[in-house]
Chain A
Amino acid sequence: MQAQKQLQKSSRNKVPAQKTQSASSGKFLFDLISGALIFLVWLIVGVVILEIAFRITSIGEGESLEPSRTLGCVHMPGKMVTFRLEGYSHENLSSQRMRDVEHAIAKPAGVKRIAVLGDSTTEGLQVAMDETYARQLQNRLNASAVQNSRPDRFEVLNFGCASYSTGQERLLYQEQVRQFKPDTVVVLYNFGDSAENIFVPQSADHVTPRPYFHLEKVTEDSTSLKLVEDDSVLKMNAAVLQPNPIMDYIRRESRVFGVLSQQNLILSINEPLYTKIKRIIGKISFPGSVRHSTAIIHPAYALPDAMQVTAKIFSELNSDVQKDGAQLIVVTFPNIGGDETFEKEEAALKETGRKQKFAVVSLTKAFLQTVDSSKLFLKYHFSKYGHAVVADVLSSSIEHQKP
């Protein structure tokens, strides 16, 4: 009887306890969800405030490139770029994806067009657009024409794009530059350009998505070689490179995205630990996510000689340019430190130029002859004074080459 009473008592006590437990777990769940929602709302408010603040202060506007399935990357048309990584510039890219003002595709009568191609050095985001060698070259040539009472008018178009290899420059010529009908095509050849043309075995998460090149025999018995484009890396990254309206919009418009993207770049360059952690996270396979591979990818052909491939690219670019009735001038980056590998590359280019009849101009002498040569560079790129020296060398070269 006593035990029965106790049982009844304990069962009477148990019911409210269970109720309290389920009520408290329900409250916890409610608190958690409402907390997460409040966090999300404040996060959105914060992002909006940051977007406005960054827009006013021109922060997070360093992003200038977007993915391209054929070239790896291209400039975003009409994008406002504020560049502060090295030097400073704050200007719009052109609607034709050039680091330049707007140019009509049709060449105006009486105008000689010069297209300049190259990497970040030619693009010149480190200085104002008016201070790039492309613009200074145009000013010098026009001033000289006026001074010498010549009817010539010059228009220089800047097609320089950061990270481009010679191979990408050649493809850009075919895709875009030739429709502007330039009379002269200038390519600034930089350190590392040659190595970027070939695909060396490397891990999948390290390889830069861009077209690579190698040489193949024309026929089995033939000794002559043809240039072959290897787009396997572009295909491998097709998912990332294909147009994505939402991502493209964010990349173009979001300053917060610009900040995070720039910090990602800075940390990837400066902090080895960051790269390691990113690689570890990349290895983790989440359900439904694309697993990054760190396996070494080998090309399906023997490792080509980089300079041989580069010389061939220049030969083919030159024949394209000549077919279009224009002339090619290759300018080599100033080799102030006397780098032996680069000296050999310059020599090989000069030899190709001699055979294929295009000019190869070195900037080394002009840079070394400048009195205060320390002013010619910011950190890695030309300062406005460096750009001026390049413009001087090119204007004199173009004027001397006039038929």
Chain B
Amino acid sequence: MLFNGFTYLVFLPLVVILHWLLPKSYRKTLLLLASYIFYMHWMPKYGLLIFALTMINYGFGLAIAGTQLHKKKKVFLVAGIVLNLSCLCFFKYTGFIVASVFDSLKLVSPVLGVHTLDAATSPALKIILPLGISFFTFEFIHYITDVYRGSPPIRNIRDFALFAAFFPSQIAGPIKRFQDFVTQLKEESIFSAAYFQDGIFLILQGLFKKVALGDNLGALVNAGYAGIHTLSTADAWITVSAFTLQLFFDFAGYTDIGRGSALLLGYKVPENFNWPYFAANLTEFWHRWHISLSTWLRDYLFIPLGGSRGSPWQTSRNTFLTMVLGGLWHGASWNFVFWGVLHGAGLVLSKDWHSYVSKVPYLARLRPHPLWHCAGVLSTVFFWLLTGVLFRAATLPEALTMGQNLFFNQTSRASLAFGQICTQFLESTIPAALLIYSIFCLGRYFTARLSDMQDMQDVQIANPFKSIIQWTGQSMPFKLASCVFVAVLILGFAPSQIIPFIYFQF
């Protein structure tokens, strides 16, 4: 079931209404049932997979908590991690491993004088990736590791199953922390108008990001990559820039819908994005982008590897390794390995550069200047934009072709004249949607600032302004009319086809 599909538009209100109508004792069971319906809607048999993994990890959690012997605890932990990773590897990486081994053999075979593989192609494996497997296996690993580290396990099997399958965060994250979720499960959920209002707001905001921006940008990017061999330099830049925006709007939009859906049910799931394209350096970027993954990688990979406790070289090594594995988490191909390598190297160099700057007095003086900050933001976005080519391209040669189009276009297409992609961009609804989103963000920013000023009570806000903000914030009919307004606005910008979430493949 897609968050931006009509089925979900029927499913969610039904679940929300039933959830609040049912007696409290039945609500969690309803949510669990709804989560399995949601998950099995696409491929019913994979419901068994998530069920089996839930049972096994529940058992591991209890076993780790139940034993006093440290060695035994460790054995259970290692067994649990190996099992979860094996499952992830089987579904996600088998094809990649087989293809890589086959290609390596093909390279080596002429040297060995074996020519049977010359004309052969890599065997095609028909393993369909279960939706959200990368997210829920990481949640399971986090669970058993934290229980090993001393957190009390979830004893109620229904609560644990709901933590694993909770539909608003099941497919696209954020990667939840069980301690936060269980605290919410234990508290008797009381209908909160504020949660409900925020939930609706997040869903509408997410739909605008996903449908009006992400999906339309996706069509442009697809056209660019489909005609990669005929792209002019200008069109190539438009294509990669569009992908940078698509990736954010698609992922952040989908997460907003999930978070909003959870709020309608009285649950809070963590934020996953915090204006990542305003980060002044790569380290800050990874604190703002896919926050739940970054913190997971920090807590369960970087720190166990040694974190920043050792020498600078060891810290750099740990950072690099974490990012390479993080890259591989994003997708099973060499593109993502290289993407991870670039981000690992980028993070190491970024940290080195900052320590260098603080040592050089002249540069250190420049650091607080707004222009320095702007240069940092631009260079970070530029780095993300370029590495995005590896992220989007289907193969390494395709990524190289796009790179060539961007920088070394030697053909007649090397002009900066706008071509088909630019025309498509101008004919599309993307410029208008971007303008509306920018106005919305500025509006939110200034409203928040006004509200802050009001709180501080050191600035007198003009009375009409104040009363309008207060009235619109309280008037229910105004809020309802606004919801209808935004819903029609989204429909106006919606493309003719429902496009799945870009991170589904991960």
CB distance from B503 to the nearest CB of A (A): 22
The distance in angstroms between the C-alpha atoms of A46 and B491, with both chains bound, is: 14
CB distance from B441 to the nearest CB of A (A): 17
CB within 8 Å of A: which B148-204 residues: none
Cβ-based interface call for A43 (8 A): yes
CB–CB B488/A259 < 8 A: yes
| CB contact list, B412-449 vs A, under 8 A | 424, 427-429, 432, 436
A85 contacts B496, C-beta separation under 8 Å: yes
CB distance from A335 to the nearest CB of B (A): 25
**Set of chain A residues within 8 Å of B407, measured between Cβ atoms:** none
Across the interface, do B478 and A84 meet the contact criterion of CB distance under 8 Å?
Answer: no
Alpha-carbon distance A259/B490, docked complex (angstroms): 10
Asked whether, in the complex, the Cβ of A271 is within 8 Å of the Cβ of B5, the reply is yes
- B477 at the A interface (CB under 8 A): yes
Can you identify 19 A-B contacts, CB atoms within 8 angstroms? A35-B476, A38-B478, A42-B477, A42-B478, A43-B484, A50-B485, A50-B489, A57-B432, A59-B429, A59-B493, A60-B492, A88-B427, A90-B427, A259-B488, A263-B491, A267-B6, A271-B5, A271-B6, A277-B10
- Smallest Cβ distance from A54 to chain B, in angstroms? 6
Task: Tell me whether B481 is interfacial, beta carbon within 8 Å.
Answer: yes
Q: How many Å lie between the Cα of A46 and that of B485 in the bound state?
A: 6
> Chain B residues near A267 (CB, 8 Å)?
6
Which B residues are CB-close (under 8 A) to A266? 494, 496-497
Rounded to whole angstroms, the CA-CA distance of A56 and B428 in the bound complex is 13
Secondary structure call for the A interface: helix
| Size band of the interface chain B makes with A | 20 to 34
Check if A270 sits within 8 Å of B488, measured CB to CB: no
**B498 CB–A CB distance under 8 Å:** yes
**Docked-complex contact B7 and A57, CB < 8 angstroms:** no
- Which of A60-102 touch B at CB < 8 Å? 60, 84-86, 88, 90
Q: A46-B482, A59-B432 are in contact. Are A38 and B477 (CB under 8 A)?
A: yes
Chain A CB within 8 A of B480 CB: yes
Cβ B429 vs Cβ A84 within 8 A? yes
Which residue of chain A lies nearest to B216 when distances are taken between CB atoms in the complex?
A84
A: number of interface residues (CB 8 Å) = 33
**Chain A: CB-nearest residue to B436:** A53
The 8 A-B pairs of least Cβ separation, nearest first, read: A42-B481, A39-B477, A46-B485, A38-B477, A57-B432, A271-B6, A259-B492, A59-B492
- Distance in angstroms from A239 CB to nearest chain B CB is 27
| Given the contacts A60-B492, A259-B492, A266-B496, A39 and B427 also touching, CB distance less than 8 Å | no
A151 to B414, CA, bound (A): 44
Whether B485 lies near A273 (C-beta < 8 A) is: no
Q: Which residues does chain B contribute within 8 Å of A274, judged by CB atoms?
A: 6
Rounded to whole Å, the gap between the CB of B269 and the closest CB of chain A is 26
A316 to B495, alpha carbons, bound, how many Å?
Answer: 42
Chain B nearest CB: distance from A374 CB in Å?
9
Establish whether residues A38 and B485, one from each chain, have CB atoms under 8 Å apart when the complex forms: no
> B1-33 toward A: CB 8 Å interface, digit per residue (1/0)?
000011100100000000000000000000000
Q: Which residues of B contact A85 (CB under 8 A)?
A: 496
Kindly list chain A residues whose C-beta atoms are within 8 Å of the C-beta of B477.
35-36, 38-39, 42
User: Which residues of chain A have C-beta atoms less than 8 A from B481's C-beta?
Assistant: 39, 42-43, 45-46
Q: From the candidates B429, B489, B491, name the one contacting A260 in the complex (CB within 8 A).
A: B491
Which residues from chain A contact B427 at a C-beta distance below 8 Å? 84, 88, 90
Say yes or no for B475: interface residue by CB 8 A criterion: yes
A273 to B11, CA, bound (A): 11
Which partner residue on chain B sits nearest A36 by CB separation? B477
Whether A306 is near chain B, meaning CB under 8 Å from some CB there, is no
Q: Which chain A residues lie closer than 8 Å to B492 at the CB level?
A: 50, 54, 59-60, 255-256, 259
Rounded to whole angstroms, the CA-CA distance of A267 and B7 in the bound complex is 11
Q: Are A42 and B482 in contact (CB under 8 A)?
A: yes
Residues of B within 8 A of A39 (CB): 477-478, 480-481
* A377 → B minimal CB distance (Å): 13
Q: Specify which chain B residues have a CB less than 8 angstroms from the CB of A255 in the assembled complex.
A: 492
Against B, the Cβ 8 Å flags (1 = close, 0 = not) of A256-276 are: 100110010011001101100
A7 at the interface (CB under 8 A from B): no
Residue with the greatest number of chain A CB neighbours at <10 A, chosen from B5, B429, B484, B496 = B496
**B427, B436, B491 — which one has the most chain A CB atoms within 10 A of its CB?**
B491
- Complex interface bits, B468-483 against A, C-beta within 8 A gives 1, otherwise 0: 0000000111101110
**What B residues does A270 contact at CB under 8 A?**
6, 497-498
Instruction: Note all chain A residues with C-beta closer than 8 A to B475.
Output: 38
Complex contacts, B424 vs chain A, CB 8 Å? 88
Give the chain A neighbours of B7 by CB distance below 8 A: 271, 273
A57 to B481, CA, bound (A): 22
Apart from A38-B475, A38-B478, A60-B492, what are 15 other A-B pairs with CB-CB below 8 Å? A38-B477, A39-B480, A42-B481, A43-B481, A46-B488, A59-B429, A59-B492, A59-B493, A84-B429, A88-B424, A90-B427, A259-B491, A260-B488, A263-B494, A271-B7
Inside 8 A of B491's CB, which chain A residues have their CB? 259-260, 263
CA–CA, A274 to B488, complex, Å?
Answer: 17
Interface residues of A in 135-156 (CB under 8 A from B): none
**B432 with A46: CB separation less than 8 A:** no
Closest to B427 in A: A88
B506 to chain A, nearest CB (A): 25
CB of A17 within 8 Å of the partner chain: no
**In the complex the two chains form, what is the Cα distance from A273 to B489 in whole Å?**
23
